[in-house]
């Protein structure tokens, strides 16, 4: 028997859906230092619900890059005064 005959057709999109959300959320959890969340994503199979909950409610807010702020300040220091 071929493998595709044994797998129901609805299962393939469900697995892809789960895998995509799980990968995005676990990458963000790892970058934010949330080890417990990272482990939960790979232990519990929730069809993407747990990763979506993490991404919406529990991830750290993004901060402005320090480099862009320093570049902005340097640019204005170099400009001549208008007075």
Q: Domain-by-domain residue ranges, the chain?
A: 10-78
Average confidence (pLDDT) over 7-32: 90
pLDDT digits (tens, 9 = 90+) for 27-62: 999 999 999 999 988 888 777 888 888 989 988 776
For residue 68, give both structure tokens.
């862009």
HSE (side-chain half, CA atoms, 13 Å) at 47: 5
Is the distance from CB of 48 to CB of 22 less than 8 angstroms? yes
């Amino acid at each position: 028997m071929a493998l595709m005959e044994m797998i129901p057709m609805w299962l393939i999109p469900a697995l892809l859906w789960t895998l995509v959300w799980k990968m995005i959320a676990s990458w963000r959890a790892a970058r934010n230092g949330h080890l417990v969340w990272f482990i939960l994503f790979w232990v519990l199979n929730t069809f993407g619900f747990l990763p979506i909950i993490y991404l919406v409610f529990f991830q750290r807010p993004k901060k402005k890059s320090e480099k862009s702020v320093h570049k902005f300040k340097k640019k204005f220091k170099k400009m001549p005064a208008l007075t």
